[in-house]
Structure 1
Amino acid sequence: MRTFDFAPLYRSTVGFDRLFSLLDQSAQADPSATWPPYNIERVAADSYRITMAVAGFSSDEIELTQHDTALHVVGQRTSQEGERQYLHRGIAARSFRQTFNLADHVKVTGATLENGLLTVNLTREVPEALKPRRIAIGGAQAALGQDNAPAPIESRAAAA
């Protein structure tokens, strides 16, 4: 197993502690963390979807919780299995707990359970205050929105 030394990066970066911790955690991942199987896909520039195969679970047996930058998915069976006598059991009915680390400003926008697939939709919503904005240089001009385009050539020539 590989180990990575992040010491050189700690010396030259500020505020990336969380990223390095996530990398360390992923290197030491628990093999049971892959149950149930799931897909993570990018739907659009700021939209994502997690699809989990949760055959045999109903919507009241699955709990979704977002706490800061972590999405917790917990499946706990409540039905009584003692009533059935299986000759072969190929569909796992074990409980699970899966945690997904989300980037800053990623929010859950909805979840559905259909045909044994749990679909969780996520969207990145960057606050207006954190979006890039144009800063005026010199003078008493106020900063203007998010217009980063240079002034047209004609207006530069007229100003000179």
Structure 2
Amino acid sequence: MRNFDLSPLYRSAIGFDRLFNALEAGQSQGNGGYPPYNVELVDENHYRIAIAVAGFAEQELEITAQDNLLIVRGAHNNEPAEKTYLYQGIAERNFERKFQLAEHIQINGAKLENGLLYIDMQRIVPETLKPRRIEIK
């Protein structure tokens, strides 16, 4: 029997949680890469991504939403200084993180606080797709 690790898909797909909750039962979490991040379900229709971006200034970060894709980029503006490290454990590399969004997910805003970039999202289902009550005559 073959096992498939769906955790990379789950971690970067916002709004598909109901589907992935069923599929990911019993799956282990893998290494998320750089930079680390959390995806939080605030309530039924609100989500928040928290990305650890310590060392990046606000002007070095870029967030782009196009179609159902959210892209977060971090690029250091300064030239790397010639330094001699005895130990270098802090990553100072540029990054690009992509998140696949479900339909009807809207980005509400972002803020940088204490080395964490927070991106708030909301699922807004159009009125035409919501269930409606039909009167019986």
TM-score normalised according to structure 1 size: 0.63
Pick the structure with greater CA Rg: 1
The residue that corresponds to 2:126 in the other structure is: 127
TM-score normalised according to structure 2 size: 0.73
- How many equivalent residue pairs? 114
User: Taking CA–CA contacts closer than 8 Å with sequence separation of 6 or more, which of the two structures ends up with the larger relative contact order?
Assistant: 2
1:92 corresponds to which letter in structure 2? A
For residue 84 of structure 1, report the CA deviation from its aligned partner.
4.0
For residue 33 of structure 1, report the CA deviation from its aligned partner.
6.0
Identity of aligned residues (%): 46
For residue 116 of structure 1, report the CA deviation from its aligned partner.
0.8
For residue 32 of structure 1, report the CA deviation from its aligned partner.
8.4
Q: Using the alignment, how far apart are the partners of 1:115 and 1:69 within structure 2? A: 28
* Cα distance per residue 1:34-64 (max 9 Å; x no partner): 2110000111110010001111111111110
Q: Using the alignment, how far apart are the partners of 1:34 and 1:124 within structure 2? A: 27
> Which protein has the bigger strand share?
2
Residue 42 and residue 32 in structure 1: after superposition, are their counterparts in 2 closer, same or farther (change >3 A)?
closer
> Which protein has the bigger helix share?
1
For residue 90 of structure 1, report the CA deviation from its aligned partner.
1.3
The residue that corresponds to 1:115 in the other structure is: 114
Q: Using the alignment, how far apart are the partners of 1:33 and 1:96 within structure 2? A: 13
The residue that corresponds to 1:145 in the other structure is: none
The residue that corresponds to 1:65 in the other structure is: 64
Q: Does the 8 A contact of 1:33 with 1:98 survive in 2?
A: no
Q: Using the alignment, how far apart are the partners of 1:32 and 1:59 within structure 2? A: 26
Give 5+ residue unaligned stretches, structure 1.
Answer: 4-18, 24-30, 140-160
The residue that corresponds to 1:80 in the other structure is: 79
RMSD: 2.4
Instruction: Summarize the alignment of residues 15-54 of structure 1 with structure 2, pairs less than 5 Å apart.
Output: 34-54=33-53
